[in-house]
Each structure stands twice: as C-alpha cells, then as structure tokens.
Amino acid sequence: MKLHEIRDNDGANRTKKRVARGPGSGKGKTAGRGIKGQKSRSGVAIGGYEGGQMPLYRRLPKRGFTKPNAKHYAVVNLGQIQGFIDAGKIDGAAELTEDALVASGLVRRKLDGIRLLAKGELKGGLTITVTGASKAAVEAVEKAGGKVQLPAQAAAAAE
C-alpha cells in the first residue's frame, strides 16, 4: 500500500445536498420547503407553538419549588464501607476522612460533602469524619465501637 492509494471506505463520505440549484438537482425552486407559510421562511423557531391554542406547558399546573442553593451530598452506606474494608481498599485501622473515601474510589466526588447512612452493617470500630450522618448511622457506628465526627461537632469542640 502506498500513500496515494489510500482512500475512504465506500459510503464514508457523502456529498452535501445542494438545495435550490435548479430543477435538475431534484431540490430546486422551493428547496424542499413546500409552498409559502411560516415554515418556508428563514429564521423560524416554532418550538412550543400549537397553532393558536393554549400550549401544553401553559395548560399544566406548576407546583413546588426548586431551591437554587440546595446542597447535594454524596451518599455512603455503612455496608459499602465494610465491603471496601474487606476488599482491602480502605485501611480499617486508620481514621476515615472524606478525602480517603474519594481516594479509595468509594465516592467519585465530594459534591457539597459526604453523608453517611445506616444501610448495611459495620463490624470493626472506625473513626469516620464526614459532613453529615443520619442518627441511625451514628448509633450503628458507636454500637460497633467506633465514632462519627461531624464538622458542627468539631467546631463546637474547638470553642
């Protein structure tokens, strides 16, 4: 094979349809847009237009409220942590921080913090430092002989 012999596979490149180039092109005169009307003109964006009747997005009721500054937490369950300890991806003896959870691959990213939930079971005593935790998760960790540290508690302890 030589450089001048190289070419695309059959059908890999198609020539662009040139509209409005005379009757012989098959797309002459109106260029496939039909005759007259709004859609035959340029610069038309019909979007949610329904021919004069009340559009669907205005007929349906609007309910609820989306908080613009809502916090989004990454969620970790106790069972997931135990699974990673069993697999050797997390050191069960060391203190478990949010950075350690991200580094181990248990959580992809911290978002606005990591929240600990109680699904699953924890076997050993662990010291876990996270942004938030459910009451059931804190009780489960303390029952296993560990401790959960939250930033609010750390700030109160510093004072």
pLDDT digits (tens, 9 = 90+) for 19-60: 999 999 889 999 999 999 888 988 887 787 887 889 888 999
- Give CA separation, 66 vs 71, 110, 115, 132, in Å: 12, 22, 21, 22
**Which residue in the block uniquely carries the two structure tokens 């699953």?**
120
User: Domains of the chain by range and CATH?
Assistant: 74-158 (3.100.10.10)
Per-position b or e across 85-116, b if 16+ CB within 10 A of its CB = beeeebebeeebebebbeebebbeeeeeebbb
Model pLDDT, residue 155: 64
Q: Is the pLDDT of residue 158 over 80?
A: no
In this structure, are residues 95 and 134 in contact, taking their beta carbons and an 8 Å threshold?
no
How do residues 52-100 score in pLDDT, each as one tens digit?
Answer: 889 888 999 999 999 999 999 999 999 999 999 999 888 888 889 999 9
Centre a 10 Å sphere on the Cβ of residue 19 and count the other Cβ atoms it contains.
Answer: 14
pTM value is 0.58
Phi/psi at 100 (nearest 5 deg)? -65, -35
Q: Is the pLDDT of residue 123 over 90?
A: no
Token reading at 40:
């035959």
